[in-house]
Amino acid sequence: MKNLSLCVIFVTSLLLVGPGHADGNALPPGVRLALDSAQIPVEAIAVWARPVDRPAPTLAINAGAAMNPASVMKLVTAFAALERLGPAHTWTTRIAGDGPLRAGVLEGNLYLIGGADPVLGYDRLW
């Protein structure tokens, strides 16, 4: 959860970067603070951000460095899910059994039938 919070702070700070806030090579203070608190060196990140109405970036940090790709496709997937399913969609997970219930005890197998719930994990099952 801490990594998610830091990621949200980082992305939000990048989105707020405007021409008056960055010289193209300086991290915004909020981003620098998030990186420092997570003990992530600037050399470990690469950023290239520009407004859609301008050809030049407002922020370029290690932009030419070779890095493992981030999983930005999750943003595309999330957008598609929101468009198709809507923000009020709820995922369902069903529980079924194949034996009789006797005195509140299932005499048979218990099945957990997942419905692609992205937040259902082992920690939520116990």
- DSSP state letter for 49: E
CA separation, residue 49 to residues 13, 98, 114 (Å): 11, 55, 38
In a domain, 89, yes or no: yes
Question: Taking 80 as the threshold, does the pLDDT of residue 102 lie above it?
Answer: yes
- SS3 category, 118: coil
In a domain, 90, yes or no: yes
Residue ending a domain, choose from 14, 41, 61? 61
| Spatial distance between the Cα atoms of 5 and 48, rounded to a whole number of angstroms | 21
Residues 19 and 57 in one domain: yes
In a domain, 67, yes or no: no
In this prediction the pTM is 0.40
Q: What is the pLDDT of residue 87?
A: 92
39-98 pLDDT, tens digit per residue, is 999 999 998 888 999 999 989 999 999 888 777 778 888 889 899 999 999 888 899 999
In a domain, 27, yes or no: yes
Neighbouring CB atoms inside 10 A of 40's CB total: 13
